[in-house]
Structure 1
Amino acid sequence: MQRQVLVQHAHVVPGSGPELPGTDVLCTDGVITAVGAGLAARAAPGCEVIDATGLTVTAGFVDAHRHVWQAPLRGAGADMPMSRYFTEILGAALSSLSAADAGRATRLGADAALNAGITTVFDYSNATLSPAHTDAVVDAFAGSGIRAVVGHGRFDADDVRRLAVRTGRVTGALAVLGPEYGDWDETVAQLAFGRDLGMMVSAHVGGACVRRLHDAGLLGPDLQLVHLNAVTPEDAKLLAASGTAVVVTPTVEAVMGHGASAYERLADAGARPAFGVDVVINNPPDLFEPLRDTLRTMRLRSGSASAPAAADLLRAATLDGARAVGLADVIGTVEVGKRADLLLLHGLGHLRGDRAGAVVSCLTALDVRTVLVDGHVVKRDGRLTT
């Protein structure tokens, strides 16, 4: 029996073309099967109907880099420098984490993400300390209803292989120290290992390694580089040309001393950067904050009230986010054939024109009314259902 959801009378921001006022979205067995006006006649008996009159529908947000297990530590590091982060968070707190703790912490982080309209998260998971920890993390994501890519943060080859064969909403990746924080030869071997398994490999970098990775033929869309605060415009072009996935976390980078965000340098080079929350010890668990922070920073630099256009940034939290986690063919736009990961946002029903820019410039997590992941309603009328 088909499982259908019909979202009716919405203002749809598809992310792949002009905005569509007065539009329905039909989802069948987790897939968007039609986008247009008057789709009720195509709905099967038993179809769930959601009245989206006055609401704005976008693709679900993609958080391309977060350490999800740190959710219980929210607010614990408002003035914490990186040196203390390594010893107190990645040292003391992480070492005390049991498998049950890892599961509960991950579930809390997943719920916070869903509540803020994040339907997919790339979890750079330091919490995969043992196979039992890994199972707890995976089970937590599965129970929450979120779509997750679990980046295994401890190089246990057998445990990583278990993640590599996962399909569906919760899949696996490899999270490594990378050449700027670890050994070069080890990074090369880990990248080869991940690629042999068909997994994306994620690493934190400042940017100094980009040229060396390029010269060694190691850049590519299955490599995800996070932060890149020191990347040069020339090296940003190498990343763009190779299709390497790039992620920035502007609010955390600013408060923890990483340096100025590389978003503009990467975007100017055509590298299509995505956004990440990163850590919640000093940062809200949503993507509205980095979206607006980036808009303000770029407008200050340009001296213009309209450049860049606010609407242009929405793609970084949707389609470019999907691309940065290896799921661009699956999610990131509201169009036929994509999985039905959708946000229904309120607060903009009075606008007659396009709304994408207003989503970026004016909305917050409080405006996330209803959330669908894989065609399942995981937040309804402001309350999580799972």
Structure 2
Amino acid sequence: MNLLIRGAHLASGDRADILIDNGEIIAVGSVPVAEPAEVIDADGLVVVPGFVDGHRHVWQAPLRGIGPDMTLPEYLTAVLGRALGGYGPSEAHQATLLGAAEALNAGITTVFDWSNATRTPEHTDAVLDAYTRAGIRAVVAHGNPDDERDVRRVAALRGRVTGGLAILGTDYGPWDEAVRQMELGRRLGLVVSMHASGGHNSPLRRMDEAGLLGPHLQLVHVNNMTDDDAKLLADNGVGVIVTPVVEATMGHGASCFSRFADAGGRAGLGTDVVVNAPADLFEPMRDTLRSHRAHTGTMHPAGDILAAATADSACAVGLGDVVGTVAAGKRADLVLLDGLTHLLGTGELAGAIVTSLGPADVHTVVVDGRVVKRDGRLVGLDLAQLRRATAETARRAR
């Protein structure tokens, strides 16, 4: 079946039709189609690539807002140390489904799920089933790398839901264990993600000498990144994801986005956790714009930050050839945004999206050619009902 989005305005200001067939963008521009299976009239709307959340602990969706003053050590104790233990497969399924629905509602079409919830094969099944039902694109980064059989099962996934590997890494775990897990991920063709700090005493140089750096590796936060760190990571094509809202709220330190950019790197953006941050990428984009303007001492173009939440995040999660741009040959993960009718046809759309819009302006969302949000309402998912269904999980976790 095919889908035609007619008369949308690209973020560049140009107007275009977008033809989609079997989940793939076939053409962008003036598209004569006699009888498409479905037509979306996008008059007055702006189309952008679906947002790509490069780092999110999706299982924490029911815990939204529980830690407004929570420090990182408190988070590790309360959320990872206690709350996670109360999640059986059923709770993992419901929580993942809620997190996916919140992401879709905010125009996030891809999540890199740093999934601590994949503690057993039954938990993994529950998480995968939730993503199948939700209709979102997901990279499920398996959080139990010692269960090699289950990791291999996730690595074999193809299509809209694929696999990754989430490890403690060299900052938070033993060196030999981290090396073994990174090598496992590389053998299986997985993006291996770890939280990292950077700085003068970081193990990044040792990792480079051991041949462990490369596009297969993704580092999250890296708040203490030095100029040498930045050049090392950029030169090796290592993916970097920053989560500026959570990093500032929990005291991780200043975002490394600008330091990485100075070295030629292009960091992606993530939401990280919802215990004290919103479940969308609009505020991370704005926070990044503010900090980058302060760092450079310039009025850096606001519209340039849109790539951090789309194309750059897609590259950092291993999907740069699949999603992240509105172009023929990419999968049809698209968002139609409302609220900028007065700017249509101008060159100000991209900047206005970054500085002025939010989840309420997400009109329609398409994932893999399928409409999952239409006219401001999710299709097949009831966000209010999902929040009610996970309320008991949240109460027990607290």
TM-score normalised to structure 1 length: 0.95
CA distance in 1, matches of 2:266, 2:294: 21
CA distance in 1, matches of 2:13, 2:132: 33
Q: What is the aligned partner in structure 2 of residue 16 from structure 1? A: none
Deviation at 1:85, TM superposition (A): 0.8
Q: What is the aligned partner in structure 2 of residue 29 from structure 1? A: 22
Deviation at 1:46, TM superposition (A): 4.8
Contact kept? 2:50, 2:324, Cα under 8 Å: yes
CA distance in 2, matches of 1:122, 1:100: 21
Q: Does 1:345 align with 2:343?
A: no
Deviation at 1:173, TM superposition (A): 0.7
Deviation at 1:47, TM superposition (A): 1.8
Q: Does 1:192 align with 2:183?
A: yes
Change (3 A) 1:33 1:20: farther
Q: What is the aligned partner in structure 1 of residue 102 from structure 2? A: 112
Q: What is the aligned partner in structure 1 of residue 144 from structure 2? A: 154
Deviates more, 1:362-371 or 1:207-216: 207-216
Query: Among residues 195, 200, 217, which one is paired with 1:223 in the alignment?
Result: 217
**Where does the alignment leave 5 or more consecutive residues of structure 2 unmatched?**
381-398
Instruction: Give the letter for the 2:372 counterpart.
Output: V
SS of residue matched to 1:167: coil
Q: Does 1:311 align with 2:306?
A: no
CA distance in 1, matches of 2:213, 2:297: 35
Instruction: Give the letter for the 2:51 counterpart.
Output: F
Query: Among residues 9, 26, 29, which one is paired with 1:11 in the alignment?
Result: 9
Q: Does 1:66 align with 2:56?
A: yes
CA distance in 2, matches of 1:337, 1:300: 37
CA distance in 1, matches of 2:6, 2:143: 42
SS of residue matched to 1:335: coil
Counterparts of 1:171-320 in structure 2, within 5 Å, are 171-207=162-198, 208-304=202-298, 306=299, 308-320=300-312
Instruction: Give the letter for the 2:95 counterpart.
Output: A
SS of residue matched to 1:350: helix
TM-score normalised to structure 2 length: 0.92
CA distance in 1, matches of 2:280, 2:65: 14
- Kindly report structure 1 stretches of 4+ aligned residues shifted beyond 6 Å: none
Deviation at 1:232, TM superposition (A): 0.4
SS of residue matched to 1:140: helix
Deviation at 1:350, TM superposition (A): 1.0
SS of residue matched to 1:10: strand
**Where does the alignment leave 5 or more consecutive residues of structure 1 unmatched?**
14-18
Deviation at 1:300, TM superposition (A): 3.0
> How many equivalent pairs are there?
374
Instruction: Give the letter for the 2:25 counterpart.
Output: I
SS of residue matched to 1:180: helix
Deviation at 1:20, TM superposition (A): 5.0
Instruction: Give the letter for the 1:358 counterpart.
Output: A
Question: Deviation per CA, 1:87-106, whole angstroms, max 9, x where unpaired?
Answer: 11001110110100000000
CA distance in 1, matches of 2:301, 2:101: 31
Deviation at 1:298, TM superposition (A): 2.1
CA distance in 1, matches of 2:81, 2:17: 49
Deviation at 1:209, TM superposition (A): 2.3
Counterparts of 1:363-378 in structure 2, within 5 Å, are 363-378=357-372
Instruction: Give the letter for the 1:364 counterpart.
Output: G
Q: What is the aligned partner in structure 1 of residue 112 from structure 2? A: 122
Q: What is the aligned partner in structure 1 of residue 394 from structure 2? A: none
SS of residue matched to 2:43: coil
Q: Does 1:331 align with 2:323?
A: yes
SS of residue matched to 1:272: coil
SS of residue matched to 1:179: helix
Deviation at 1:77, TM superposition (A): 0.5
SS of residue matched to 1:149: strand
Contact kept? 2:4, 2:36, Cα under 8 Å: no
Q: Does 1:380 align with 2:374?
A: yes
Q: Once the two structures are aligned, what percentage of the paired residues are identical?
A: 58
Q: Does 1:85 align with 2:85?
A: no
Question: Deviation per CA, 1:48-93, whole angstroms, max 9, x where unpaired?
Answer: 1001111100100000000000000000000011121111100111
